[in-house]
Structure formats: C-alpha cells, structure tokens
C-alpha cells in the first residue's frame, strides 16, 4: 500500500508539472500567434507540446530483422516497475540492477534498434548516446564534485541522459532533407541503398483552419510553439520576400510580435494570482514576534524553541516584532546568543546558535518581503505567523500586480550576485519538485505556483539574449534605430551563436545545480 501511495503521489505531481508547464507555454505562444496575425503575418502552425510521432513505416526497409517495438516497450516498462517496487534498502541489489538496465543496457538496445531502422551506422547511434552520458556525468561532477555521490546517483543521471540521447536518435532523420530549401516541420529523410527516403513525423491530433494554420497536439509535454512564416534569415535575403513572412513586416511589428509572448505570460500570471487571492485570500506574515513554524533541523528547534513562542529579547535587544528578530539574528551566524521567550505566560531563557548560510540567500525587508538583495545570513530556522486575509477584487488585483515587480527585483539581485545566483538558480528538477510539493498541498498552492511560474517565464524571456524573445527584440529594436535597415546576416548569425551558447550554458548550469541538490551535497 505504501508503494502504491508513493506511486500515486509521484503520478499526481508529474501530471500537475506537465499540465502547468504546457498551459503556461501555450499561452506564451498564443501571444506570439495573435499579435503576428494582427500585423498580417502568416502563422503556419500552432502546437501544444513538442515532438511528433514517426508515421512513415520503415520496418520493411530495415537491413536486419527487428524485435517488435511493443516488446521493447514492455521490457522497459517491466524494468521500471521492478525499480520502483524494489526502491528500498531491503532490495537494494535488485534496485541497482534495474537502474543499470534502465540507464545502460536497454538504452543501448533501443539505440541499436533505431540505428538499424534508420540505416545508420551503429557507432553513430552509440556515439550520440555516449555524448549524452558524458554530458550527464560532467554535470554530476560539476554540481557535486562527486562528494556524497553513490552508485544510484550515477545510474539516475545515466537514465536521464539516456532518455535525452534516445530522443536525439529518434528524431535524427529530421536533420536530413531531400530538398535543402524545405523548412516544413516534421519532414526528414534517411538513406536507403544510397537513395534518400522521405520520413514524416506527425502530431497525435491536428486540424487546419481556413487560413492554413495547423493546430496540433504533439507527443512530448515540454511546451509548445507558434511557427511564424519566414522567421529564419537566408543567405540571399529571401526571407524578406516571403508572402506574409515575419521579415516582410516593419521592425516595430516584429518587435511587438516578439514582445507579445512575455507580455501574455506576465498577464496570465497576474490573472491566475488574482483569482487565487480573490477566492482563497492573501496569506500575509504578521508583525507579531511569534514563531509560526520551525524547521526540524533549524537552530531554534535544536535549542528547544517551539511554534507559538513569543520573543522578548535576543542578545539583550528588545524584540517588538518579527522583523526585529530577523534583523538581530542574521548578523550573528555561528555565534551563541541568549534569547528570552514567553511561552504560556512564562518567561524562559535559551541559548541558541544561528546557523550561517552556506550560500547567499534573499534578504527580507521590514515588511518580511524579499528586497532583491542577497547575502549570507544567520538563521534560526523559523517563520512568522501567517494569517489569511480575505480581500475584495480591487485589493486582490493590487496584490497580484505587485508580484511581477518583486520578481524583477529578485531576478536583478540574482544576476548581480554570482554566489546567490549559483545557490538559487534551478532547472526542471527544481520546478518539478516545487510542483510536487504544491500538488500535495492542494489546488490553491498549485494556482499560486502556476501564477509565479508564468510571470517568471515572461521575465526570463525578456532577457536580451537570443534565442530568447528579448534577444530577438534587441535585433528588431536596432533595426528600428537604423530606419528599418536590416542587420547583416553575419552580424545576426554572430549574435544568435553567442546568445545560443549563453542560454545553453545557463541551462546546463541549472541542470548541474539540480543534480547537486538532489544528490544532497
């Protein structure tokens, strides 16, 4: 029963994570779609999720006879079930063996099967899989320094890396086109007896409107996209001659089309938070110098402090509100200090040693809200009392509109403090973990997290780095200043390449931090 409950909890968290992520990105792309249409641009496709399913049958052309795909799926699923059921100390050997199968043996078998199907040299498929393994191990080393790393940690990273590698191999035909000028989505090719053979990937579901836009549901719950015609610059400048193309429109129209995605994300986040605040109320910390919650491993709990205790003085300084306690303690990390508390009308004296942060954390202001500054602080491992205040629509909207401003200050603080950035940046695993926790807490928590994530997506996409919207907006703005004259293709390629490398580096760094936290440095 315990294993079943854990499985259901994991499934609920996973469904919540992918549903929230898909909806948020779909709305972001909807902004691009609507504004592009407003300026007369042709949108060829609007997709929810990514990655189509291969529809071209290739088994008959394979050089060697193949095991049915259903057998492969059954073997992978059965091994995953064994790994889940045996995930405890009593069956550690069985768990490690199942993880080894999932991370190494089965992925190699599937990679070789795909290589045969695509008439690819086996070494080419294994090289791609191996490259993903190497990246995964590098991120593990970078994120942990191999401190506290176990065999299970290594195998878990290899499982994740193998899934990425197998996806790369599965979509390998898309890297080859029969017609070099064909930029249609889902079209690829393989070489069969030295002759190109067309391979098509299609959505799970799709429909086309009268304007020729294909709306589709794809296979991988990792976002979505709006494909605006003619967004890829060509060597001969032909993108400026495509009917209804992105580059046939003025720089201002392109700028607003790019800005629409982040704008829709922020607006959606504000609307979600407004709904949550209006229905459930606003949770606000009280000013009272009373402990509202304690961390089991925090300094306060170790010193015997409990929820409901009221501070009288800390290190000889009178405490009249909760912020006073925060302000006094944060500069005394690692130092034993006397504390006087009141519990059930009785005054007690305690000695507590605030724990100094290993990395910089957000500094709170007098209103107990983040200030955007980061530094290493002494902490007791406590939180203030929090009360839920019912608010009217106007106040709920005001509270929701305040969140983007706080988020911007937090982002600026992170990017201006390298240590804080390293300590607080998170990738998919961090978001998934937060979503899992929110799904356990209930619908209100999911709404609050979704609203904050949507605002974060909008702000992050405004960073002036291609291929993010903000980076492309910088190019469009530069062309506006040049009176509509395009930047040279060489300059655009240089900007795109540098931007792509920066974004890739940031993604890999976030993944390494995810791995480091999950390994438990």
CA distance 158 to 135: 10
Residue 290 gets which letter from DSSP? B
Residue 323's CB is within 10 A of a number of other CB atoms, namely 18
Of the candidates 457, 439, 501, 466, which has an alpha carbon nearest to the alpha carbon of residue 19? 439
For residues 158 and 147, is the Cβ–Cβ distance under 8 A?
no
Expressed as residue numbers, the domain containing 321 is 282-389
CA distance 199 to 187: 6
In this prediction, the residues of the chain whose per-residue pLDDT falls under 70 are 1-10, 89, 180-183, 417-424, 426, 517, 519-521
CA distance 307 to 293: 5
For residues 208 and 214, is the Cβ–Cβ distance under 8 A?
yes
* CB-based contacts of 148, cutoff 8 Å, min separation 6: 519, 520, 521
At residue 5, the pLDDT reads 62
Q: Looking at the 3D structure of the chain, how many domains does it have?
A: 1
Instruction: Decide if 337 is inside a domain.
Output: yes
> What does the chain come to in residues?
521
Report the chain's terminal Cα–Cα distance, integer Å: 31
For residues 23 and 454, is the Cβ–Cβ distance under 8 A?
no
CA distance 103 to 54: 24
Residue 15's CB is within 10 A of a number of other CB atoms, namely 13
Instruction: Decide if 127 is inside a domain.
Output: no
Instruction: Decide if 351 is inside a domain.
Output: yes
CA distance 194 to 260: 46
For residues 54 and 279, is the Cβ–Cβ distance under 8 A?
no
Instruction: Decide if 416 is inside a domain.
Output: no
For residues 216 and 205, is the Cβ–Cβ distance under 8 A?
yes
* CB-based contacts of 306, cutoff 8 Å, min separation 6: 291, 294, 343
Burial 168-187 (b: 16+ CB within 10 A, else e): bbbbbbbebbeeeeeeebbb
At residue 515, the pLDDT reads 74
Judge residue 94's burial from the number of C-beta atoms within 10 Å of its C-beta, 0-12 exposed, 13-18 middle, 19 or more buried.
middle
Q: Mind listing the pLDDT tens digit for each residue in 289-321? A: 999 888 888 888 898 999 999 999 999 999 999
Instruction: Decide if 292 is inside a domain.
Output: yes
For residues 382 and 293, is the Cβ–Cβ distance under 8 A?
yes
Instruction: Decide if 372 is inside a domain.
Output: yes
**CA Rg value for the chain:** 27
Task: Examine residue 36 and say whether the peptide bond preceding it is cis (omega within 30 degrees of 0).
Answer: no
**CA neighbours within 13 Å on the CB side: how many for 397?**
4
At residue 434, the pLDDT reads 81
At residue 521, the pLDDT reads 44
CATH number for the domain harbouring residue 317: 2.30.42.10
CA distance 516 to 521: 6
**Cα separations (Å) of 159 from 103, 144, 151, 155?**
4, 18, 12, 6
Residue 328's CB is within 10 A of a number of other CB atoms, namely 21
For residues 235 and 489, is the Cβ–Cβ distance under 8 A?
yes
At residue 465, the pLDDT reads 86
At residue 1, the pLDDT reads 45
CA distance 224 to 216: 10
For residues 365 and 413, is the Cβ–Cβ distance under 8 A?
no
Q: Mind listing the pLDDT tens digit for each residue in 472-511? A: 999 888 888 888 788 887 888 888 888 888 888 888 777 7
Instruction: Decide if 229 is inside a domain.
Output: no
For residues 64 and 248, is the Cβ–Cβ distance under 8 A?
no
CA distance 438 to 455: 17
Compute φ and ψ for 396, nearest 5 degrees: -60, -40
Of the candidates 24, 475, 98, which has an alpha carbon nearest to the alpha carbon of residue 258? 475
At residue 120, the pLDDT reads 93
């Amino acid at each position: 029963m315990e294993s079943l409950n854990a499985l259901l909890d994991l499934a609920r968290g996973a469904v919540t994570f992918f549903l929230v992520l898909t909806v948020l990105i779909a709305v972001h792309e909807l902004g691009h779609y609507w504004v592009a249409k407003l300026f007369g641009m042709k949108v060829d496709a609007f997709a929810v999720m990514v990655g189509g399913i291969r529809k071209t049958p290739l088994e008959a052309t394979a050089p060697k006879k193949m095991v049915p795909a259903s057998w492969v799926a059954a073997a992978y699923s059965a091994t995953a079930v064994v790994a889940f059921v045996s995930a405890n100390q009593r069956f550690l050997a069985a768990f490690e063996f199942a993880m080894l199968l999932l991370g190494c043996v089965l992925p190699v078998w599937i990679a070789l099967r795909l290589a045969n199907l695509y008439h690819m040299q086996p070494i080419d498929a294994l090289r791609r899989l191996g490259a993903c393994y190497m990246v995964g191990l590098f991120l593990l080393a970078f994120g942990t320094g191999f401190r506290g790393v176990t065999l299970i940690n290594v195998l878990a990273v290899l499982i994740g890396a193998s899934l990425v590698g197998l996806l790369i191999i599965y979509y390998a035909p898309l890297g080859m086109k029969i017609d070099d000028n064909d930029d249609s989505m889902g079209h690829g090719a393989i070489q069969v007896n030295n002759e190109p053979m067309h391979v098509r990937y299609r959505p799970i579901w799709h429909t086309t409107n009268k304007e020729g836009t294909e709306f589709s549901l794809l296979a991988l719950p990792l976002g979505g996209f709006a494909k605006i015609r003619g967004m890829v610059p060509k060597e001969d400048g032909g993108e400026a001659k495509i009917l209804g193309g992105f580059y046939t429109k003025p720089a201002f129209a392109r700028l607003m089309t790019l800005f629409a995605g982040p704008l829709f994300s922020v607006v959606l986040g504000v609307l979600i938070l407004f709904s949550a605040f209006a229905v459930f109320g606003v949770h606000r910390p009280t000013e009272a110098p009373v402990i509202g919650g304690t961390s089991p491993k925090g300094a306060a709990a170790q010193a015997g402090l409990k929820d409901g205790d009221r501070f009288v003085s800390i290190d000889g300084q009178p405490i009249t509100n909760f912020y006073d306690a925060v302000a006094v303690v944060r500069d005394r990390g690692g130092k034993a200090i006397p504390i006087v508390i009141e519990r059930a009308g009785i005054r007690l004296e305690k000695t507590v040693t605030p724990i100094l942060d290993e990395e910089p954390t957000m500094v709170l202001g007098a209103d107990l809200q983040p200030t955007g500054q980061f530094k290493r602080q002494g902490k007791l491992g406590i939180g203030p009392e929090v009360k839920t205040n019912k608010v009217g629509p106007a106040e709920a909207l005001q509270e929701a509109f305040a969140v983007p401003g706080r988020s911007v200050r937090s982002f600026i603080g992170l990017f201006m403090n390298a240590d804080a950035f390293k300590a607080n940046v998170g990738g998919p695993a961090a978001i998934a973990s937060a979503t899992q926790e929110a799904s356990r807490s209930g619908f209100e928590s999911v709404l609050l997290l979704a609203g904050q994530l949507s605002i974060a997506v909008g702000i992050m996409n405004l960073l002036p780095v291609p291929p993010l919207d903000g980076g492309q907006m910088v190019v469009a703005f530069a062309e506006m200043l040049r009176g509509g004259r395009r930047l040279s293709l060489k300059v655009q390629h240089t900007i795109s390449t540098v931007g792509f490398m920066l974004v890739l580096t940031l993604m890999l760094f976030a993944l390494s931090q995810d791995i480091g936290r999950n390994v438990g440095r």
